């Protein structure tokens, strides 16, 4: 059974993406800081007869991310798809942003994604197979003055995807991001559409891989 690992699993795009892969027969591993909320998401998928595991991770701590990846690889023989969905959705202008939170915001918004890609890539490269999927955001293209740390983080997600795409493609690893240009509500058709786009990335033939799709919510 193939394994899908979600870092920063949540009730919106994270859950819908995990469920999309679960419907294709993947074992889903959901991870986030809040074990109880993550278990609720797992129970939702288990109720639909999907195979689901739960792990705890601090996405803003590179060592925690690395330990998660290594543990999942050890438990299940490898990770076929990594989905990085973690973000700190702080609404704060430059004047309002507490000085002691900016670095911690970036550690979650982009640092954890870099740590996850670094941790998962070696085994994927050995197999010459795997997908690293990153939830991006429109603020990464058009920064918002009231969401500065999120904007900078999403710009980093976009740069990470584009910066890794060619070199990782040569190793058989597909790196891709959905740049979500707007807010998406949990359980919405938009959330399902983003999950579908991530599945389409993973399903693309190697000769036609894409690195980015911009999705504009309709709701």
pLDDT in tens, 112-153: 999 999 999 999 999 999 999 999 999 999 999 999 999 999
Which residues, including other chains, have CB under 8 Å from residue 208's CB and lie 6 or more apart?
A: none
What 8-state DSSP symbol labels residue 139? G
Q: Which CATH number fits domain 3-215: 3.30.360.10, 3.40.50.720, 3.40.50.300, 3.40.630.30?
A: 3.40.50.720
Q: Is the pTM of this model over 0.75?
A: yes
Per residue in 13-55, pLDDT (tens digit) is 999 999 999 999 999 999 999 999 999 999 999 999 999 999 9
3-state secondary structure of 15: helix
Between CA 24 and CA 20 the distance in angstroms is 7
For 170, which DSSP code?
T
Residues comprising the chain, all counted: 219
**Interval 49-86: pLDDT, tens:** 999 999 999 999 999 999 999 999 999 999 999 999 99
**Radius of gyration over every alpha carbon of the chain, rounded to an integer in angstroms:** 16
H or E stretch at 175: strand 173-180
Query: Domains of the chain: which residue ranges?
Result: 3-215
Q: What is the pLDDT of residue 219?
A: 73
């Amino acid at each position: 059974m193939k394994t899908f690992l979600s870092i920063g699993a949540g009730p919106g795009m994270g859950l819908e993406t995990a469920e999309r892969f679960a419907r294709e027969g993947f074992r889903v591993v959901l991870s986030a800081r809040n074990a109880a909320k993550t278990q609720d998401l797992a129970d939702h998928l288990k109720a639909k007869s999907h195979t689901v595991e739960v792990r705890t991770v601090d996405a803003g701590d590179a060592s925690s991310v690395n330990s998660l990846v290594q543990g999942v690889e050890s438990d299940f023989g490898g990770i076929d798809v990594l989905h990085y969905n973690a973000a700190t959705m702080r609404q704060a202008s430059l004047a309002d942003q507490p000085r002691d939170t900016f670095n911690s915001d970036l550690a979650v918004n982009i640092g954890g994604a870099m740590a996850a890609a670094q941790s998962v890539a070696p085994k994927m490269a050995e197999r010459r197979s795997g997908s690293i999927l990153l939830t991006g955001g429109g603020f990464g293209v058009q920064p918002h003055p009231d969401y500065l740390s999120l904007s900078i983080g999403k710009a980093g997600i976009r740069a990470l995807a584009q910066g890794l795409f060619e070199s990782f493609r040569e190793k058989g690893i597909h790196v891709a991001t959905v740049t979500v240009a707007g807010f998406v509500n949990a359980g919405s058709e938009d959330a399902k559409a983003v999950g579908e786009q991530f599945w389409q990335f993973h399903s693309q033939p190697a000769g036609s891989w894409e690195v980015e799709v911009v999705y504009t919510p309709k709701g």
